[in-house]
């Protein structure tokens, strides 16, 4: 197949899937921007929009990209939801289109969808032959659509060559919260659970470490390390891999790239029972209620044992390799694209 992949935001994921499809023998062109904080290198066939789209240089860049896409003559197009008109214009109208949807609704007020993006989503929705989401939860929230909705397993945004080696029990320490902070990340309840853990006999001097900027919705105590701002994968991955657990106790959510990243790094992610988070757990693990600190504190007590933490981390890594790796996720994409291409 010839696949055109339009990726204004999720450049990391798109490049990973494009490389996976190329490894299977397909031709892929990714059209993207420089908006990602830790963007991977592009293939020589890919297109990068560098100029503001309202400028004369941006218009010339768009015209050149459109000519390039016409010469490429794709069999199928994959597009994220976007309000950027360049991505709406560069997609051929006579080629089957799949739209990717990560969230069916905003997590909170800070994630509200702008009007122009909602209007653009309506345009893409009317053109789409199919829609792809990344959890059964989102598929159920989307409800009845004009087109079929499929679920593809989400892979990690971190290139797999950066995956750190599995960390032994003796090197495990601390609990991590990773990602841009917002109210739905539920930081106050996590802090309460950490305090309960500190007061238990299971406490082994592990710190709670928060990595990421944004608004936590509360004061961060002095004994909790807060690494503010954006991070790079090469800086985060070794520390995440050495953690005793990662925490995603979201109050709302769809699925979590942080959860998948943790599995790739070989660390257990403790998650709440909201959205699609439980779908990305090993079968023997259960999700927790998001509003209650006590169950999370009990899991921190359990994970404080470094041998338990290392064993849990290995189980999550094996889950990633068998279900969520680039290879496994790309195989699902390839079958779905071929299905849509054939009508």
Is pLDDT of 311 > 90?
A: yes
pLDDT tier at 118 (50, 70, 90 boundaries)? low
Percentage of the chain lying above the pLDDT 70 cut:
94
pTM over 0.85: yes
Q: List pLDDT tens digits, range 94-103.
A: 999 999 998 8
- What number is the average pLDDT over the span 222-228? 96
How far, in Å, CA of 268 to CA of 282, rounded? 10
Percentage of the chain lying above the pLDDT 90 cut:
78
Q: What is the mean pLDDT of the chain?
A: 92
pLDDT tier at 248 (50, 70, 90 boundaries)? very high
What's residue 81's pLDDT? 84
Handedness of CA 113, 185, 139, 129 (dihedral sign): positive
Domains of the chain (ranges, CATH numbers): 2-155+325-341 (3.40.50.2000), 160-324 (3.40.50.2000)
Collapsing DSSP to helix, strand or coil, 65 comes out as helix
Helices (H), 212-273: 233-241, 257-265
Q: 56: how many CB neighbours lie within 10 A of its CB?
A: 9
Q: List pLDDT tens digits, range 251-288.
A: 998 999 999 999 999 999 999 999 999 999 999 999 99
How far, in Å, CA of 285 to CA of 270, rounded? 9
Beta-ladder partners of 132: 100, 150
Nearest 5 degrees, angle CA 304-CA 308-CA 313? 105
Is pLDDT of 4 > 80?
A: yes
How far, in Å, CA of 333 to CA of 100, rounded? 11
What's residue 138's pLDDT? 95
Q: Could you tell me if residue 229 is left (phi over 0), alpha (psi between -120 and 50 degrees) or otherwise beta?
A: left
> Residues of 254-293 as b/e, b for ≥16 C-beta within 10 angstroms?
bbbbbbbbbbbbbbbbbbbebbbbbbbbeeebebbebeeb
Is pLDDT of 108 > 60?
A: no
pLDDT tier at 107 (50, 70, 90 boundaries)? low
pLDDT tier at 131 (50, 70, 90 boundaries)? very high
- What number is the average pLDDT over the span 142-165? 93
- What number is the average pLDDT over the span 154-170? 96
- What number is the average pLDDT over the span 210-218? 94
pLDDT tier at 120 (50, 70, 90 boundaries)? low
Q: List pLDDT tens digits, range 74-83.
A: 999 999 988 7
Of 166, 131, 188, 197, residue with least CA distance to 264: 166
């Amino acid at each position: 197949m010839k696949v055109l992949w339009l990726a204004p935001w999720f450049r990391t994921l798109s490049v990973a899937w494009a490389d996976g499809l190329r490894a299977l023998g397909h031709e892929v062109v990714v059209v993207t921007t420089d908006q990602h904080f830790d963007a991977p290198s592009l293939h020589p066939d890919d297109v990068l929009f560098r100029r503001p789209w309202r400028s004369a240089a941006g218009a010339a860049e768009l015209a050149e990209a459109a000519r390039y896409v016409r010469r490429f003559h794709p069999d199928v197009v994959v597009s994220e939801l976007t309000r950027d008109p360049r991505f709406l214009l560069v997609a051929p109208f006579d080629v089957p289109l799949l739209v990717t949807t990560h969230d069916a609704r905003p997590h909170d007020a800070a994630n509200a969808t702008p009007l122009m993006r909602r209007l653009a989503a309506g345009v893409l929705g009317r053109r789409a032959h199919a829609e792809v989401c990344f959890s059964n939860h989102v598929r159920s929230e989307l409800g009845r659509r004009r087109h079929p909705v499929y679920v593809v397993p989400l892979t990690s945004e971190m290139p797999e060559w950066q995956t750190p080696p599995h960390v032994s029990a003796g090197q495990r320490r601390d609990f991590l919260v990773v990602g841009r902070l917002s109210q739905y990340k539920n930081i106050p309840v996590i802090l309460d659970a950490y305090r309960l853990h500190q007061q238990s006999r299971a406490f082994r001097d592990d710190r709670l470490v928060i990595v990421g900027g944004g608004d936590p919705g509360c004061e961060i105590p002095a004994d909790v390390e807060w690494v503010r701002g954006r991070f790079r994968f090469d800086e985060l991955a070794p520390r995440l891999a050495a953690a005793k657990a990662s925490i995603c106790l979201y109050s709302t959510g769809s699925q979590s790239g942080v959860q998948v990243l943790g599995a790739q790094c070989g660390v257990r992610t403790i998650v709440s029972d909201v959205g699609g988070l439980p779908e990305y757990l090993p079968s023997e693990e259960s999700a927790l209620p998001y509003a209650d600190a006590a169950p999370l504190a009990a899991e921190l007590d359990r994970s404080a044992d470094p041998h338990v933490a290392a064993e849990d981390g290995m189980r999550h890594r094996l889950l990633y390799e068998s279900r969520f790796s680039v290879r496994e996720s790309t195989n699902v994409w390839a079958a779905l694209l071929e299905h849509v291409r054939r009508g």
